[in-house]
Amino acid sequence: MRREELYIGGEWVRPHGEGEIQVINPTTEEIIGSVPVGNSDDINHAVSKARSAFESWSMSPIEDRIKILNDLSTALKELTEELAQTITAEVGTPIGYSRMAMVGTPRVVSRSYAKMLEGFEWEHEIRNSLIVKEPIGVCAFITPWNFPLHQIIGKVAPAIAAGCTMVLKPSKEAPLNAFLLADILHDIGLPPGVFNLVSGHGSEVGEILSSHPDIDMVSFTGSTSAGVRVSQAAASTVKRVTLELGGKSANVILDDADVIRAAKSAIGACYQNSGQTCSALTRLIIPKDHEDEIIEIVSSRVNGYTPGDPLNENTRCGPMVSEKQQQSVLSYITSGIDEGAKLIAGGEGMPEECDKGFFVRPTAFSNVTPEMKIWKEEIFGPVLVITTYDTEEEALELANDSIYGLSGGVWGTNERAIQFAKKMRTGQVSVNGGQFNVSAPFGGYKQSGNGRELGIDGLQEFLEIKAIQRPIE
């Protein structure tokens, strides 16, 4: 799985940068591949090719874009197993979840934009003005490791639909799937220069892309601190920046909810992708009167959530993506213990079942208070924190007690739960376990970012709006 070239201008080319980035399997701790390190010359080459391709691609027939998106969806379906196996090897995601979420969701997203184009309104009139929507230009995409292909397709598909060209810098922890995507886009006939791939370090490639004068837009997904740096780098050229950043999302069980169902659901909502999910519902807020019942359910289910080999079809919790991430999660578990939270499941150290790999024990704390580090900060691992409330007003205050606002959940009778959801300061809310919808906008309030991905709102991010005034007759 060693890749030695970058994809620029429709060709695999030797990089100007030196060295390679090794990709480590977090389950086995073995090197499974490598990608080249790009530099400023590679970025300039890729941006130049994207700029040259923009003139023709921005004017391409809508039917051509629809075909590319449908062909991409078909190719992703045909290569599901190869892509899923690759992502599981890079990230440690349990293989069943890789097939469904890591590859299946991008396939559906690609198809959704093809369908959207069939009826999209590019022009409309307001009095004597013709309002025209046009592609924004050359886009830079900086993507994360936790849902690597999904986050890439969530940017690439609407950009293709809009008529934009692009340069992608994938995560250095999980870049191999991006190289497979480049192969796919080449094989289905995406015109040269529309999609370009430059791997490398964020401190160099990401910074250069963000500040590059010929980049019209940057779309970044990652940590809030890195998103701030992207915004600062982009500010000098006043380019559009969309950010999908961190989260510390609340899951609220109202006192009229189906408590047993809600408590059981809380584990999966927190631990999906081994807890390495920005929209994970990591803060469980429960009524004081049901505390004992809910904690008993949570603790028993967490203790049965055995981590292990992600290639085992029955595994639900794999390793952390890297040793660095493993140590970070373990430090938060230690912090929770030191600050006086009550450990009800899991804890410090490696799981007994694992003798290697970057594993942590699925963990849950009760008696967590808002001043604790584990309440305030994004842990990005399988750690659930629980607190109680006496009144609905207090529950809402606790739910909104975060610098983040990416996701959320609420359980209760439908109308009451929906009214509560409307008061939560967050970009999306699941009511009574409502499922993720790829046609709905995804993005955050507050320090969880700005802009939206997916659905019609995700397409609009890649468009400029022009008003053409005509004489009034």
pLDDT tens by residue, 58-68:
999 999 999 99
Catalytic residue among 244, 378, 453, 461: 244
Token pair of 306 as six digits: 């055995």
Residue 41: pLDDT band with limits 50, 70, 90: very high
**432: helix, coil or strand?**
coil
Q: At residue 247, what is the residue type?
A: G
What is the average pLDDT across 193-221? Answer: 96
Q: Tell me, what's the pLDDT at 425?
A: 98
Residues in a beta bridge with 464: 134
Reduced to 3 states, what is the DSSP secondary structure of residue 431? strand
Quote the CA–CA distance of 24 and 168 in Å, as a whole number. Answer: 21
DSSP-based three-state secondary structure for 264: helix
183: tokens are 């192969």
The per-residue pLDDT for range 216-228, each reduced to its tens digit, is 999 999 999 999 9
List the beta bridge partners of residue 13: 6
Say what the pLDDT of residue 190 is: 98
- Beta-strand ranges (E) seen in 348-391 are 361-366, 383-389
| Residue 142 token pair | 């900086």
pLDDT, position 305: 85
Output the pTM of the full model.
Answer: 0.96
Dump pLDDT digits (tens) for 67-121. Answer: 999 999 999 999 999 999 999 999 999 999 999 999 999 999 999 999 999 999 9
Mean pLDDT of the chain: 97
pLDDT at residue 234 greater than cutoff 90: yes
Q: What CA–CA distance (Å, rounded) separates 369 from 462?
A: 41
Residue 377 bears catalytic tag: no
- To the query of whether residue 392 is one of the catalytic residues in this protein, the response is no
- Determine the topology of domain 249-443 in CATH: Aldehyde Dehydrogenase; Chain A, domain 2 (3.40.309)
Q: What is the pLDDT of residues 142-194, one digit of tens each?
A: 999 999 999 999 999 999 999 999 999 999 999 999 999 999 999 999 999 99
Q: Does CATH place domain 6-245+448-469 in 3.50.50.60?
A: no
Count the Cβ atoms, other than its own, within 10 Å of residue 432.
17
Structural domain boundaries of the chain? 6-245+448-469, 249-443
Residue 303 has pLDDT above 90, yes or no: no
pLDDT interval class at 258 (50, 70, 90): very high
Is it the case that residue 364 has pLDDT exceeding 90?
A: yes
Per residue, the 3-state secondary structure of 34-45, as one string, reads EEECCCHHHHHH
- What is the pLDDT at residue 350? 92
The pLDDT, as a whole number, for residue 342 is: 98
Other C-beta atoms closer than 10 Å to the C-beta of 122 total: 12
* Per-residue confidence (pLDDT) for residue 203, from 0 to 100: 84
**Rounded-to-integer distance, Cα 138 and Cα 210, Å:** 12
CA distance 413 to 428: 19
- Among residues 139, 164, 278, 317, the one annotated as catalytic is 278
For residue range 439-458, list pLDDT tens digits in order. 999 999 999 999 999 999 99
Residue 304 has pLDDT above 90, yes or no: no
Identify the bridge partners of residue 450 per DSSP, sorted by sequence position: 243
Residue 211 pLDDT: 96
Measured between alpha carbons, how far is 288 from 390 in angstroms, rounded to an integer? Answer: 6
E strands, 97-216, where? 123-126, 129-135, 138-142, 165-169, 195-197
pLDDT of residue 241: 98
pLDDT in tens, 389-428: 999 999 999 999 999 999 999 999 999 999 999 999 999 9
Q: How far is CA 29 from CA 32, 125, 322, in A?
A: 9, 59, 9
Residue 473 has pLDDT above 90, yes or no: no
